Amino acid sequence: MNYSLKPITSAREIRLGDADAGRPEDVPRGDELDEAIRHERKRLKKLQSVLYADGRYAVLVVLQGRDASGKDGTVRKVFRSVNPMGCEVTSFKAPTDIELEHDFLWRIHQRVPRRRLIGIFNRSHYEDVIVPRVRKLVPRKVWSARYDQINEFEKMLCVNAVVILKFFLHVSRDEQKKRLKERLEDRKKNWKFRAGDLDDRALWTEYTAAYREAIAKCSTKWAPWYIVPADDEDARDLLVSRTIADVLDDLDLGYPALNAELEGLKIE
């Protein structure tokens, strides 16, 4: 299987139409797809174990997407085989009163993973260039100044050994409708539904514009964005897990050398 996600390097590559959310042609199906996912999970499990032992890097995985785009499912399924000791998940909700009294990155910085760990952000500082813009919560000059602030912040993290990958889970209108309908009707899913989700859905075009600009302005060499076609959950899991595993692979992680001071020690 050759298909892999490419980091966004120009605005031209940002395709967020309904057709772009479907399963890409050359992603395998059926048993072959299941096998490919299992393979990536195994890779991720091994790589995370070396990441922890190696100790030089932290990894930050940012997940963004509309309601029901599959952020929770991606956390659950992509990281299923990874040692929980090596992971931290943070779900960012609407800011609290105290959070609103600080700069928008204050709550974010506190949750950046330390070295050895994979930190997963379920929503992130990108909400702060999306929601306030679409909902007109703050003036344009406030949210539009944040792109540069985000780029500088992420660059500082990168220089300090945080490897950043950002995924936009892209669903189509029809798929979101289907998933929101399930949330309305299924007791196990109903708790996830907020009436506000429908208001957000009604603002589909405005959200698309906001995501498009955030991705265009903030896909950098040090913190690239990947757009994930997310209508098909298995394809999504394969593409996300493979991308993370490939980036970890490129770090050339290794177990530290044997400790010379311990040489010759006998255990009775």
| Choices 121-129, 204-212, 216-224, 249-257 (CB under 6 A): range interacting with ligand AMP | 121-129
Count, residues near Mg ion per rule CB under 5 A: 1
Smallest gap from residue 77 Cβ to ligand AMP (A):
17
Q: Contacts with ligand AMP in 145-184 (CB under 6 A)?
A: none
Nearer to ligand AMP, 137 or 156 (CB): 137
> Pick from 23, 123, 179, 236: which binds ligand AMP (CB under 6 A)?
123
Select from ligand AMP, Mg ion, none the partner in contact with residue 123, using the beta carbon and a kind-dependent cut-off of 5 to 8 Å. Answer: ligand AMP
Angle, helix 233-250 to helix 30-54, in steps of 10 degrees: 30
Smallest gap from residue 5 Cβ to ligand AMP (A):
22
Q: Contacts with Mg ion in 48-77 (CB under 5 A)?
A: 67
70 token code pair: 């599959």
> Pick from 95, 144, 201, 222: which binds ligand AMP (CB under 6 A)?
95
Using an 8 Å Cβ cutoff, are 245 and 43 in contact? Answer: yes
Smallest gap from residue 123 Cβ to ligand AMP (A):
5
| Choices 127-135, 219-227, 231-239, 248-256 (CB under 6 A): range interacting with ligand AMP | 127-135
Q: Is 92 in the site for ligand AMP (CB under 6 A)?
A: yes
Q: Is 94 in the site for ligand AMP (CB under 6 A)?
A: yes
Give long-range contacts, CB 8 A cutoff, 24+ apart: 188-192.
Answer: 192/68, 192/72
Q: Is 101 in the site for ligand AMP (CB under 6 A)?
A: no
Smallest gap from residue 67 Cβ to Mg ion (A):
4
> Pick from 51, 78, 131, 238: which binds ligand AMP (CB under 6 A)?
131
Q: Is 67 in the site for ligand AMP (CB under 6 A)?
A: yes
Using an 8 Å Cβ cutoff, are 230 and 170 in contact? Answer: yes
Q: For residues 81-111, b (16+ Cβ closer than 10 Å) or e, as one string?
A: bbeeebbbbbebeebeeeeeeeebbebbeeb
Select from ligand AMP, Mg ion, none the partner in contact with residue 52, using the beta carbon and a kind-dependent cut-off of 5 to 8 Å. Answer: none
Which residues would be at the binding site for ligand AMP (CB under 6 A)?
Answer: 67, 92-95, 123, 127-128, 131
